Structure 1
Amino acid sequence: MGFTALPRLEREDSSAGAVGVEGQRRADLGNGTYLNPIFPGDHPDPAILRDGDDYYVTFSSFESTPGLIIWHSKDLLNWQPLASALPTAVGCVFAVDMCKVGDRYFIYIPVIPTAVSPDPTAPPLIYVIHSDNMAGPWSDPVDLGIAGHIDPGHVVGEDGHRYLFLSGVSRVRLSADGLSTDGEVEHVYDGWHYPDDWVTEAYALEGPKLTRRNGFFYLTTAVGGTSGPPTGHMVTVARSRSVNGPWEECPHNPIIRTWNESEPWWSKGHATLFEGPNGQWWSIYHGYENGFTTLGRQTLLESIGWDDDGWPCAMGGDLSTPLPSPSPVTQLSSDGTRGLALTDDFSTPRFGVQWSFHSPSKDEYLRLSLDDGLLLQARGESPSESSPLTCIVGDRRYEVTVQMEVEEGTQGGLLLYYSGRLFCGMGHDGDRMVSYRAGRAIPYWHEPAPSTQVLHLKINNDNHIVTQYYSTDGITWTRHGLRFNVAGYNTNTADELLSLRPALFAIGAGRVRFRNFTYRALTETSKADSNK
């Protein structure tokens, strides 16, 4: 798919982790240790599947389409994107589960209906897709007829039957082929309850994942709410000899939690326990980076030990320090690549892997074509109506640039986009520049800008301080508008469990052609170069 390798470079900021060719954070330090996160940027609700020596993971994609990007790894640190398992919008996609039964792969998908769904007023629904290959093609979604639940967790019981555990925690038996239910939804577990004086968002018993080890089923759940107070989200465990219970609570609960706001990772939760290379056990879960909630929920990896009674214990300790790697030898892909370079000349399709539409209509992809760059048909009269193209970033300090050419009657631009209610950036229609802040055009700031159909735009986000530039040649830059502080562009301000992302938009009547999108993480040296 034309992905660029990310070789290791020297770090100028040790707290930011290893970096790659564009400065992006990378988990593998190349010396037998790794540094969290293993997926920087907004990768919430990780669902992981082990298939022999191969590991696959995907994340909640919400209203981004294409969605459910599947990633592959041999060593849990170096991941390669395979494909989008859900190329067409079906609604708001929450935390999924992946499994393999026989020779077939399954993804169970909770969807909160939106305007693109068959019935936008319906309660949350559970769908399933299936494939003979993790790289696809995947089937069309099949509605299982399960209403009012999210967060499915698949398991094959000791009785040989397949089950889905659901938020609550409820459970339903599946047919042998996994494509329909075989019984009623029933409540099966009340959850472990923390003390009343703990500061959490809400109890919210969610994310049931089941793992089998030494004759026990281990049921891992999330409680405490997924955002809000840093100490809210947590990981709890119960076990049983039977998939039917009864469930015994782990004496170490919660096995993972943010205990105070000084820790490097907040709201840690939604974990899966699994066996990794060399028989070592691991937990994969998400958390917010202290001070950088704007980046969304990032994916963390922590080793798991087992006490003498067979209960799991988290072993990572301080997750801001280097930890022993799952495998002593780095295992890159067959072509020697590592990760995903974000710089894009739009010469090959990278949609569903790097780029996705935010809150699209069902046929949103028809607006887009690759014709001497990326040609995007305008939609709406403001960025909030435009379903912009966004990409996930995971650095605290970065710069993005793009060249654009606008048709008459059209405005194109570059944003940092959280949602339709919260974004900032700039647009140009060939005659004038428009500034956006806090989700609206700024009426009190006017600045002359060149009258030209072709313009280069640049946004610098330096630890939440945003500076904007434009240029007629991509070499000499003029600073535009006000500087913004975007630290508040996050879920605790605007809800929606999203992240702040670079975005390209087109509004009005015509089209905008984008070329040469570039991304680089900033160090003190590169920041000085950027401001010239």
Structure 2
Amino acid sequence: MKKQNLLLAPALALILSFSSFDFMTERLDPPKKGVPVFSNVVYEGNDAVYNENPLESNEFYNPILQGCYPDPAITRKGDDYYLVASSFAMFPGVPIFHSKDLVNWKQIGHVLDRVSQLDVHDTGISQGVYAPGITYNKNNDTFYMITTAFAGGAGNIIVKTKDPMQDWGEPIKMDFDGIDPSIFFDDDGKAYVVHNDAPNKGEELYQGHRVIKIWEYDVEKDQIIKGTDKIIVNGGVDLADKPIWIEAPHLYKKDGKYYLMCAEGGTGGWHSEVIFMSDSPKGPFVPAPSNPILTQRYFPKDRENNVDWAGHADIIEGPNGQWYGVFLAVRPNSAGQVNTGRETFILPVDWSGTYPVFENGLVPIEPTLELPEGVENKTGEEGYFPNGNFTFEEDFSGDKLDYRWIGLRGPREAFIKQTKKGLEIDPFEAEITELKPTSTLFQRQMHKTFSFKTDLTYKPKSDEDFAGITALQNERFNYAFGVTKKGKDYYIVLQRTESGKSSIVASEKIDLDDDISLKVEGDNADYKFSFAIDGDTYKNLGGTVSGDILSTNVAGGFTGAMVGLYATSGSSIEPVE
């Protein structure tokens, strides 16, 4: 592990002793003077698609995980299903969900929840942990999560557990290059790793030319077997078409045949899912004559309830023998921008023929799906993850925070404390524009139309103190909205950062008696920031501002926008008189 940023040093000894996401420091002593205390948060989503498509009694909403939960992978042990997604430089890493029916999901934690497992302290938000694969090995009753970590010199790693409800082990570094690995366990006990890689040196034919490679895997030593590597797909379905970015491979076995499913076309407008078959896990693999088996690339971009970029899938046999596939896709807003990121969708899979095909995966994807037989929709109830339109309230009075709350580049336990009045954030010097751990507590933006508001008790002590809320796509594209000081006066300030350059949108001198309410509202591409001194009468600051910088269209990268609580003791924000 790399030497940690000095900002984390005081907390590391404590953090490493606990599963970081399941532990919250309970400090019931009064909050420190001058340190921001957030007494509550209310997030409310109100998307038109859900208002216009109310659920029938036999339906549930798609996507099943709204917001930035891309690259889903799924596995099964008996009646228990486990799903993981990419987390990049968010901490803890690799959110993991559990279900009994593929409709109702509970987040049970994160796979990489300790600093010893994940070192992202100096990492851009779209680096970190990519495309996890999760597989249950019935031969030794063990779960494996394999992923690529673009941080801390980790590369491709595997972690293991006997019980995903408990902690996962320390990372085992894999001795191969490339990305998007997944592991497959055959009936005879043999194991294989497949992954995306570059072509052999000197054999690259065009930009985006990639290959799928396979290795035999030694289950006892937990390492690939040197010299067993083989390219099993070169370029994609048809090399003559110059396919780009064959990636995210998964191996399956059914009726004595081996199936290799991959994404093709890049995680954008040409994204798709394709399938190959072989008599051996090491090939040769023959593409299905009807590829792709999932894509949304052929439809108008301005269609109603547009779902696009579908691909990067994994399939599983569900209840009653019906197969299902999880995959990523996006829902652009009315301006065609992607602010909510790549989300996790699900569709039934028809495997009555030789090859599996996603049902209705080759026509425009609808916002609702029919429930599997005998399943009741409990999303948003009894601890199940919500979807559709919903309100999430947090008063910070529980023993632990909801799993949706995440840090950036480091554990949240390094800067949060529970007090009698709410959640205290002990600010780092780092600002959200820096490649350092920041004292920010985030959740994902999960709707195109939403509001996020909080009540804050805070009086900055110096011009370098700032606390409030942030809407962030990455360190170079974000908004910061909150309270600071200039001389003897207090100000409410809205700062916009685009391409790494920060500017003040608006600022206003205020009479601050410790308490202030802050709110950000998003309506597709339009965002508004407002404050209330009396906790009720909100006043807009800066008018309507563009959410373009919170989209991947403008900001680039692989994440969706996040909203959260933010504090810094090293603020460079200067109010404009």
Same fold (TM over 0.5): yes
1:272 aligns with 2:314: yes
Shift of 1:326: 2.5
Q: Using the alignment, how far apart are the partners of 1:481 and 1:46 within structure 2?
A: 38
Q: Using the alignment, how far apart are the partners of 1:387 and 1:236 within structure 2?
A: 42
**What is the DSSP-based 3-state SS (H/G/I as helix, E as strand, rest coil) of the residue aligned with 1:189?**
strand
Aligned to 1:379, which of 416, 424, 428?
Answer: 428
Higher relative contact order, structure no. (Cα contacts within 8 Å, ≥ 6 residues apart): 2
1:458 aligns with 2:487: no
Shift of 1:488: 4.7
Normalised TM-score (structure 2): 0.76
Q: Using the alignment, how far apart are the partners of 1:404 and 1:12 within structure 2?
A: 27
Q: Which residue of 2 aligns with 1:142?
A: 172
Q: Using the alignment, how far apart are the partners of 2:276 and 2:357 within structure 1?
A: 13
Q: Which residue of 1 aligns with 2:212?
A: 169
Q: Using the alignment, how far apart are the partners of 1:509 and 1:322 within structure 2?
A: 47
1:148-187 deviations in whole A, cap 9, x for unaligned?
Answer: 2111111123653111101131122221236222224432
1:299-331 deviations in whole A, cap 9, x for unaligned?
Answer: 1111211354x1122212442253322233216
Kindly indicate whether the alpha-carbon contact (under 8 Å) linking 1:307 and 1:313 is maintained by their aligned counterparts in 2. Answer: no
Normalised TM-score (structure 1): 0.82
Runs ≥4 in structure 1, deviation > 4 angstroms?
14-19, 194-198, 349-352
Q: Using the alignment, how far apart are the partners of 1:221 and 1:352 within structure 2?
A: 33
Q: Which residue of 2 aligns with 1:370?
A: 418
Q: Using the alignment, how far apart are the partners of 2:512 and 2:168 within structure 1?
A: 47
Shift of the 322–332 alpha-carbon distance from structure 1 to 2, 3 Å rule, reads: closer
Aligned to 2:372, which of 326, 331, 349?
Answer: 326
Q: Using the alignment, how far apart are the partners of 2:476 and 2:547 within structure 1?
A: 14
**What is the DSSP-based 3-state SS (H/G/I as helix, E as strand, rest coil) of the residue aligned with 2:131?**
coil
Aligned alpha-carbon RMSD (Å): 2.9
1:408 aligns with 2:461: yes
Shift of 1:463: 2.1
How many residue pairs are counted as aligned between the two chains? Answer: 477
Kindly indicate whether the alpha-carbon contact (under 8 Å) linking 2:431 and 2:570 is maintained by their aligned counterparts in 1. Answer: no
Aligned to 2:231, which of 162, 183, 187?
Answer: 187
Kindly indicate whether the alpha-carbon contact (under 8 Å) linking 2:406 and 2:412 is maintained by their aligned counterparts in 1. Answer: no
Q: Which residue of 2 aligns with 1:478?
A: 539
Kindly indicate whether the alpha-carbon contact (under 8 Å) linking 1:130 and 1:138 is maintained by their aligned counterparts in 2. Answer: yes
Matches of residues 169-318 of structure 1 in structure 2 within 5 Å?
169-177=212-220, 179-184=222-227, 185-193=229-237, 203-227=244-268, 230=269, 232-258=270-296, 259-262=298-301, 264-291=306-333, 293-306=338-351, 308=353, 310-316=354-360, 317-318=363-364
Kindly indicate whether the alpha-carbon contact (under 8 Å) linking 1:461 and 1:467 is maintained by their aligned counterparts in 2. Answer: yes
Q: Which residue of 2 aligns with 1:107?
A: 145
Structure 1's unaligned 5+ residue stretches are 3-8, 20-28, 511-532
1:429 aligns with 2:484: yes
Matches of residues 348-367 of structure 1 in structure 2 within 5 Å?
348=398, 350=400, 353-360=403-410, 365-367=413-415
Q: Which residue of 1 aligns with 2:30?
A: none
Aligned to 2:185, which of 151, 156, 172?
Answer: 156
Kindly indicate whether the alpha-carbon contact (under 8 Å) linking 2:142 and 2:161 is maintained by their aligned counterparts in 1. Answer: yes
Kindly indicate whether the alpha-carbon contact (under 8 Å) linking 1:388 and 1:505 is maintained by their aligned counterparts in 2. Answer: yes
1:448-474 deviations in whole A, cap 9, x for unaligned?
Answer: 223343321111112221111111232
1:187-236 deviations in whole A, cap 9, x for unaligned?
Answer: 222153469889xxx71111001121111111110111113xx2x11100
Q: Using the alignment, how far apart are the partners of 1:41 and 1:17 within structure 2?
A: 20
Kindly indicate whether the alpha-carbon contact (under 8 Å) linking 1:106 and 1:131 is maintained by their aligned counterparts in 2. Answer: yes
The amino acid that maps onto 1:181 is I
Q: Which residue of 1 aligns with 2:475?
A: 420
Q: Using the alignment, how far apart are the partners of 2:413 and 2:503 within structure 1?
A: 30
Q: Using the alignment, how far apart are the partners of 1:460 and 1:196 within structure 2?
A: 48
1:40 aligns with 2:66: yes
Shift of the 224–12 alpha-carbon distance from structure 1 to 2, 3 Å rule, reads: closer
Q: Which residue of 2 aligns with 1:23?
A: none
Q: Which residue of 2 aligns with 1:50?
A: 76
The amino acid that maps onto 1:83 is G
Shift of the 245–16 alpha-carbon distance from structure 1 to 2, 3 Å rule, reads: farther
Shift of the 288–236 alpha-carbon distance from structure 1 to 2, 3 Å rule, reads: same
Q: Which residue of 2 aligns with 1:25?
A: none
Q: Using the alignment, how far apart are the partners of 1:444 and 1:30 within structure 2?
A: 45
Q: Which residue of 2 aligns with 1:521?
A: none
**What is the DSSP-based 3-state SS (H/G/I as helix, E as strand, rest coil) of the residue aligned with 2:192?**
strand
**What is the DSSP-based 3-state SS (H/G/I as helix, E as strand, rest coil) of the residue aligned with 1:492?**
helix
Q: Using the alignment, how far apart are the partners of 1:394 and 1:34 within structure 2?
A: 17
Shift of the 18–428 alpha-carbon distance from structure 1 to 2, 3 Å rule, reads: farther
Q: Using the alignment, how far apart are the partners of 2:135 and 2:443 within structure 1?
A: 27
Kindly indicate whether the alpha-carbon contact (under 8 Å) linking 1:162 and 1:178 is maintained by their aligned counterparts in 2. Answer: no
Q: Which residue of 2 aligns with 1:530?
A: none
Shift of 1:69: 1.7
Does 289-298 or 156-165 show the bigger shift? 156-165
Q: Using the alignment, how far apart are the partners of 1:451 and 1:381 within structure 2?
A: 25
Shift of the 344–38 alpha-carbon distance from structure 1 to 2, 3 Å rule, reads: same
Shift of the 328–387 alpha-carbon distance from structure 1 to 2, 3 Å rule, reads: same
The amino acid that maps onto 1:245 is G
The amino acid that maps onto 1:130 is K
Structure 2's unaligned 5+ residue stretches are 1-21, 24-43, 121-127, 197-210, 572-577
Kindly indicate whether the alpha-carbon contact (under 8 Å) linking 2:84 and 2:96 is maintained by their aligned counterparts in 1. Answer: yes
Shift of the 81–364 alpha-carbon distance from structure 1 to 2, 3 Å rule, reads: closer
1:13-47 deviations in whole A, cap 9, x for unaligned?
Answer: 4546778xxxxxxxxx4622233111111110001
**What is the DSSP-based 3-state SS (H/G/I as helix, E as strand, rest coil) of the residue aligned with 2:564?**
strand
Q: Using the alignment, how far apart are the partners of 2:57 and 2:371 within structure 1?
A: 9
Shift of 1:63: 0.4
Does 475-484 or 382-391 show the bigger shift? 382-391
Kindly indicate whether the alpha-carbon contact (under 8 Å) linking 2:59 and 2:377 is maintained by their aligned counterparts in 1. Answer: no
